[in-house]
Each structure stands twice: as structure tokens, then as C-alpha cells.
Amino acid sequence: GAVVSQHPSRVICKSGTSVKIECRSLDFQATTMFWYRQFPKQSLMLMATSNEGSKATYEQGVEKDKFLINHASLTLSTLTVTSAHPEDSSFYICSARAGTGHTEAFFGQGTRLTVV
């Protein structure tokens, strides 16, 4: 399958600072990327959907000013957690899709964010 690289895999930051997470499709062009958040022992919750060159579409309850998503190219999307707080600590996962509709999306390895 296609490869999606997510970086960093782990990050610890101080409360109040911002953290950027990158999601790259290495061998295909991703027209759509998805960002998920996963709490321990829980399922993946979709945060937002981004299409290359467009503004991201956020799920209800997700603060778009706190979780900034940029999808500037067909191979890169970034999630920036601004003014991070301990409650933002979580596992963040991206996925990338080349086609449209129900075509398969490939997942990154995830990023463990810890805010201290």
C-alpha cells in the first residue's frame, strides 16, 4: 500500500506553546487528508477534513482556531495545535486519500502529544 509519513512520532511541549505535526504522502498525491484524535483505549474521532488548496472542514466541537490545518500541497498537510494545554495531550493520526469517495485512505503512524 501507499505510504503516509507523520512527524514527529512523539512530542512534549510546554503549556501555552504551539506544536506542528506534519503528514506527508510519500508516493502518491493526496487530494484529501483527514486528521483524527484518539484518546487512550478509545476510537478515532475525526477532527477535520482538508482538501488541497481549500480550507479545512472541521467537525462539530473542534475549535478551528486552536487546531490549525493547512493542506498547501498534494503531499503535505499540517496540524498545528496552538496555545497547547494539558487537555490537548492525545494521540493524533492523519490519513491521506488519493481519489475521491470511498477509495482507500492510508494512515500515518500517529503522533503522541504530551503537554506539560
Using CB under 8 A, list all residues that contact other proteins. Answer: 1, 4, 6, 32, 34, 41-44, 46, 49, 91, 93, 95, 100-102, 104-110, 112
What count of Cα atoms within 13 Å lies in the side-chain half-sphere of residue 28?
Answer: 17
Pull the grid cell for residue 94.
492523519
In the complex with other proteins, which residue's Cβ is closer, 16 or 99?
99
Between 75 and 95, name the residue whose CB sits nearer to other proteins. 95
62 versus 82: smaller Cβ distance to other proteins = 62
Q: How far is the CB of 82 from other proteins (least distance, A)?
A: 24
Compute the least distance from the CB of residue 85 to other proteins, in Å: 22
DSSP secondary structure letters along the chain:
---EEEE-SEEEE-TT--EEEEEEESSS--SEEEEEEE-TTS-EEEEEEEETTSPPEEPTT--TTTEEEEEEETTEEEEEE-S--GGG-EEEEEEEESSSTTS-EEE---EEEEE-
* Shortest spacing between CB 93 and other proteins, in angstroms: 6
Q: Toward other proteins, which CB reaches closer, 28 or 82?
A: 28
CB of 83 to other proteins, least distance (A): 26
